[in-house]
Structure 1
Amino acid sequence: MARRSPWTRWSRAVEAAIRADPRMAQTADLVVRQGGQLVHRVSFAPGRPRDCFSMTKSVLAMLVGLAVDSGVVTLDDRVEDDATVRDFLTMTRGVASELEDVDRLMELPSGWEQAIRGRAHCWAPGTRFCYDNEAAHLLAIWLSRRVGDLEEYAAERLFGPLGIDEAEWLRDPEGHCFGAAHLRLSADSLAALGQLLLDGGTTSTQRLLDPAWVRAMTTAWTPGGPPENTGYGYLTWVDDDGFFFGGWAGQHTSVFPAYDLVVVTTGLPSLLPADWTPARAAVLAHLRTVPPVQRWQP
């Protein structure tokens, strides 16, 4: 049961704002954790686990971090040509990708990896941000050849220790977990992943991620760009309020370190209004009403 705290009223105000705004009609879940504790949870639509869409990328970054920590890979390993793991994590692979590219890729009956590797490089790797769904999938394929099946690796090294047991991961025609999107998790599981990063990669009983990796993952290495139009770390968005996993149709796991706060908002594409806006907008609007000197202390 969610504990009672000053954040309960805040959470209910966010919930009310979401319910009142027809542009947020696609919202499926709102989960709020503050001070490491659940304070509010509401589902606006039935069904779970949810499709994470591009929030999947941030989970992939965690798996890369586990592999780096164990010495299986390094940031300077090359995924293709001169593009390194670091370049793929920061979306600076060097390809002028468009969001629609991944849709065309997923229409192919086979040969996804070859299609991705066939993209022409337009600038030197490491020099320019360009959001690239195909790059995330290629990184996932590359990583799986070093650590084994990613769904199994995640279950053993990341999900299992956090008590996450409902994960489902879409695969490409060759059986590789799709690195760019379509991992399915519950909103509570997403909150647990956000909490793990907020806590520096540790739980109450063990260290799962190197704290240095968490810092690097949540540092803006580039100014970023579309679709979120904010800074970019390792497959994770970074802004002045903290950092977040982001995905299409209103998928966000937002972490606000100054508030010791994790907020998950998920969305259903089947309910998407024509002029939709993510529920994260309501979360940010309500944070703006709290002067820094009045922030709750955990």
Structure 2
Amino acid sequence: MRPERLLAACESALLRPEHAHVVALGVSDGTRRLVAGPDPDATGDVFSVTKSVTATAVRAALADGVLASLDDPLTVLDRAPGVTVHRLLCMRQAWREDPDMDALAGTAADPLPAIGAALASGTAADGRPRYVNAAAHLLVRELDARTGSAAGYLSRRVLAPAGVGEHEWERDATGAPWGHAHLHLGIADLLLLGETWAAARPDLHPGTCALGPPVAPEHLAYGGGFWHGEDVLLAAGWGGQCVLVHLPTGTVLAALTRTGWTRESGTDTLPSGWASGRRLFEEHALPLLRGSPAGHRPADDERGTR
């Protein structure tokens, strides 16, 4: 499928009010990258797409020997018995509560004690992944402790090899980048990351991170830092940002949105009834890639966790 046709089909949908917050779209077939939208040069917070970048850094750490295995215990907390990289990467860790990461980011205090206090022992009781933002930040703090600089490691081993240049990544009070959100990128950067994930897709299969039943907010199976559909790999953020890889063809689809959300206000400017980039692609691009007349619509829970 020619990327021009895919992009044109998606761009026409931007006239619909539910997609008014989409500022840029991109398509890559591995040889060409095409972008469109009202502001294709925009950059913005990609929210939970950041988690997939963090997961990619964990895989690099395994390859580099920084981590011996996914079963490595967490060392960055004094009292975290049984907490492993595997549990955090696949959202299988048990928690007493879901820490408010927005509130923690708004303080000058190290968030680690509060996150540690929210941990419970063992895995999630029902065996289902529990999608908790703090899990991804614990992974970054573990990388920070083992490498001396998670920011440097993430840039050197994930972003730079993908071709991502200058970027902004908000940090916690200790200087470590937030592992769950607040990486700021442009649409071209998302396509570059998507190409990396498309090329590495055999290694991105969760493997020992066995997939469970679909869970919110994407209502897909979750494992290894990504959402997994029948024929797609998905990195998705609150506000509709996403990178979607169509596995049979290796086609990458990306969307960047403007949410208007600020930590200070705690509010956003998303249009009423807004839809995610994933939904846009499932309605207008995936049917073309699949050779079918209609695509599957995701469950209606778009205002998921940041």
| CA separation of 1:93 and 1:294: change in aligned 2, threshold 3 A | closer
> Deviations for 1:143-166, whole angstroms, at most 9, x for unmatched residues?
111123122112222222332211
* Partner AA of 2:43 in structure 1: P
Query: What SS does structure 2 have at the residue aligned with 1:62?
Result: helix
What residue is the counterpart of 1:244 in the other structure? Answer: 234
Q: Is the 8 A contact 1:231 1:239 kept in 2?
A: yes
Establish whether residue 267 from structure 1 lines up as the match of residue 257 from structure 2. yes
Provide the TM-score with structure 1 as the length reference.
0.85
Establish whether residue 15 from structure 1 lines up as the match of residue 5 from structure 2. no
What residue is the counterpart of 2:107 in the other structure? Answer: 108
**RMSD value over aligned CA atoms?**
2.5
Q: Is the 8 A contact 1:48 1:186 kept in 2?
A: yes
Q: Is the 8 A contact 2:6 2:27 kept in 1?
A: no
Aligned-residue offset at 1:219: 7.3
Identity, % of aligned positions: 30
Alignment of 1:48-59 (within 5 A): 48-59=42-53
- Indicate the larger mover: 115-124 or 214-223: 214-223
2:28 counterpart (29, 33, 43) = 33
> Deviations for 1:110-135, whole angstroms, at most 9, x for unmatched residues?
03100000014275358331111012
Give 5+ residue unaligned stretches, structure 1: 202-210
* Partner AA of 2:153 in structure 1: Y
Q: Is the 8 A contact 2:95 2:119 kept in 1?
A: yes
Distance in 1, Cα, partners of 2:252 & 2:102: 31
Distance in 2, Cα, partners of 1:274 & 1:293: 32
Aligned-residue offset at 1:77: 1.1
Aligned-residue offset at 1:279: 2.6
Q: How many residues are treated as equivalent by the alignment?
A: 278
Establish whether residue 180 from structure 1 lines up as the match of residue 180 from structure 2. yes
Alignment of 1:124-273 (within 5 A): 124=123, 127-200=127-200, 212=203, 214-216=204-206, 221-270=211-260, 271-273=269-271
Give 5+ residue unaligned stretches, structure 2: 75-79, 261-268, 294-306
Provide the TM-score with structure 2 as the length reference.
0.83
- Indicate the larger mover: 267-276 or 214-223: 214-223
> Deviations for 1:158-215, whole angstroms, at most 9, x for unmatched residues?
22233221122110112111101011122111111111121127xxxxxxxxx53x23
What residue is the counterpart of 1:285 in the other structure? Answer: 283
Establish whether residue 70 from structure 1 lines up as the match of residue 58 from structure 2. no
| CA separation of 1:154 and 1:7: change in aligned 2, threshold 3 A | same
What residue is the counterpart of 2:263 in the other structure? Answer: none
What residue is the counterpart of 2:299 in the other structure? Answer: none
What residue is the counterpart of 1:205 in the other structure? Answer: none
Distance in 2, Cα, partners of 1:14 & 1:219: 33
Distance in 1, Cα, partners of 2:250 & 2:110: 44
Q: Is the 8 A contact 1:194 1:253 kept in 2?
A: yes
